[in-house]
Amino acid sequence: MDRIRVIGGQRLTGTIPISGAKNATLPLMIASLLTSDTLTLQNVPHLADVQLLARILRNHGVDSSVDGKRAGQKLLGETFHLTARQIVDTTAPYEMVRRMRASFWVLGPLLARCHKARVSLPGGCAIGTRPVDLHLLGLEALGAEINLEGGDVIARAPSGLKGGKVTFPTVSVGATHNVLMAAVLAKGESLIENAAREPEVGDVASCLIKMGAVIEGIGTSTLQVQGVDRLTGAFHAVLPDRIETGTYAMAVAATGGEVFLDGARADLLQAALDVLCEAGVEIEETNTGIKVARNGTGLQPVTIATSPFPGFPTDLQAQLMALMSIADGKSTIRETIFENRFMHVQELARLGADISLHGDTAEIAGVTRLRGAQVMATDLRASVSLVIAGLVAEGETIINRVYHLDRGFERIEEKLSRCGAQIDRIVS
């Protein structure tokens, strides 16, 4: 299994290109199930999760092809062509869904197009139990009959889905994607209340509109959908990854230096940028990206709680914790989205961080220095928090189980080492 080696102590200086968002790419790829025409996605990041989802979709009948390199083309992600001419299998078995939770989101599109689907329950994962009750509640409101059998969700809508009103009791990104992708082909009007407002939901909705869907309220918590009989193909460029943006911003904040995050959009992560400003990091938004700098000044501690967009994202919580572990004072981070998203705490402690946990709240007493050690990646965002800590730790940090990182960070060693970091991959 590959490992990442980081020798800490280098300031970061230069430019980091921001990739297309993983969490928009996955549902956008799934949206290809809704039409027999070709959906072309540009700016697709080269990630293990994207490759895996392409394989999973192939099982349902989605042909995919990726454009080769073009002369003179700036490295701007890949272009995927996805065509579900005919759905040949409406079943997503456990072996597939357990490997990627987002593959559960095929349920809504399959049900909308084929009027039936059998999809395995995804089960828990390292960050919490993560049930799917909200997905099922939403699809039932659109007329689906749902039964659970042998760990599978069996959903039917013999005469097609019908528009309905869905009011989510709590915000769920995945349930919003699933129900939205079902509602666009349901008969009549649907109202989705307390919908997730994450930019990735908006990106999927914009793509669905290009495919012929009728959706109003993008960016708000109420989505109004007029069902249509069929959708067509479309071209869509995936929006920039706000979590990758925030991660590199925190890396620069930790090491000091000055980096331009090329292609990043500040409006996608304003809450996180505000927290960095409060900590004393300089942030400057330009037309083409975001400049992040910390030169000479110390880091001020912060108090935050994660919350759905536009709040501070749970997907940046671990990275902020790594950063605050070297701040001048005591920070408090409360995790309100997932009940068990603190697996990085004990690994950061191996590097010398002083963190105490009290239920859903972590108290981080800043230390003057971290020291390199062997650590274990437990999930995607936890892994990258260890990279950030490793960049400032004295000596060598070895991060084991790097496959978590490869699921969501494109060319991370290359992007960081081009800015002066000493980081490489030990392939085994």
Identify which range of 33-41, 78-86, 111-119, 171-179 contacts ligand EPZ by CB under 6 A. Answer: 171-179
392: its two tokens:
């400032």
- Choose among 16, 17, 19, 9: nearest CA to 421: 9
- Please compute, for residue 78, the number of CA atoms within 13 A of its CA located in the half-sphere on the CB side: 17
Listing DSSP states for 2-19 in one string gives -EEEEE--PPEEEEEEPP
Q: Is 175 in the site for ligand EPZ (CB under 6 A)?
A: yes
Report the alpha-carbon angle 164-167-168, nearest 5. Answer: 130
Binding mask 311-340 for ligand EPZ (x = CB under 6 A): ---xx---------------------xx--
Q: Is 278 in the site for ligand EPZ (CB under 6 A)?
A: no
16: its two tokens:
């980091």
- Identify any residues that bridge with 38 across adjacent strands, giving them in sequence order: 83
- Please pick, from the candidates 199, 202, 246, 408, the single residue that binds ligand EPZ as defined by CB under 6 A: 408
Q: Is 20 in the site for ligand EPZ (CB under 6 A)?
A: no
Q: Is 343 in the site for ligand EPZ (CB under 6 A)?
A: no
Q: Is 102 in the site for ligand EPZ (CB under 6 A)?
A: yes
- Please pick, from the candidates 135, 236, 242, 404, the single residue that binds ligand EPZ as defined by CB under 6 A: 135
Round to whole Å and give the CA distance between 82 and 84: 7
How many C-beta atoms lie closer than 10 Å to residue 368's C-beta?
Answer: 7
CB of 41: closest distance to ligand EPZ in angstroms? 15
CB of 38: closest distance to ligand EPZ in angstroms? 23
- Which stretches within 260-411 are classed as H helix? 270-278, 317-324, 344-350, 380-392, 403-408
Q: Is 133 in the site for ligand EPZ (CB under 6 A)?
A: yes
- Please pick, from the candidates 123, 128, 188, 217, the single residue that binds ligand EPZ as defined by CB under 6 A: 128
- Active-site residue (options: 125, 207, 277, 419): 125
Q: Is 240 in the site for ligand EPZ (CB under 6 A)?
A: no
165-167 and 145-149 strand pairing: unpaired
Catalytic residue list contains 419: no
Q: Is 168 in the site for ligand EPZ (CB under 6 A)?
A: no
Q: Is 167 in the site for ligand EPZ (CB under 6 A)?
A: no
Round to whole Å and give the CA distance between 220 and 202: 9
Identify which range of 2-10, 132-140, 253-261, 284-292 contacts ligand EPZ by CB under 6 A. Answer: 132-140
- Please pick, from the candidates 279, 362, 380, 421, the single residue that binds ligand EPZ as defined by CB under 6 A: 380
- Choose among 4, 1, 117: nearest CA to 59: 117
User: 132 vs 279, which CB is nearer to ligand EPZ?
Assistant: 132
DSSP SS3 for 160: coil
Residue 313 and residue 246 in contact, taking contact as beta carbons nearer than 8 Å: yes
Q: Which residues are catalytic?
A: 125
Q: Which residues bind ligand EPZ (CB under 6 A)?
A: 23, 26, 101-102, 128, 130-135, 170, 172-175, 314-315, 337-338, 380-381, 408
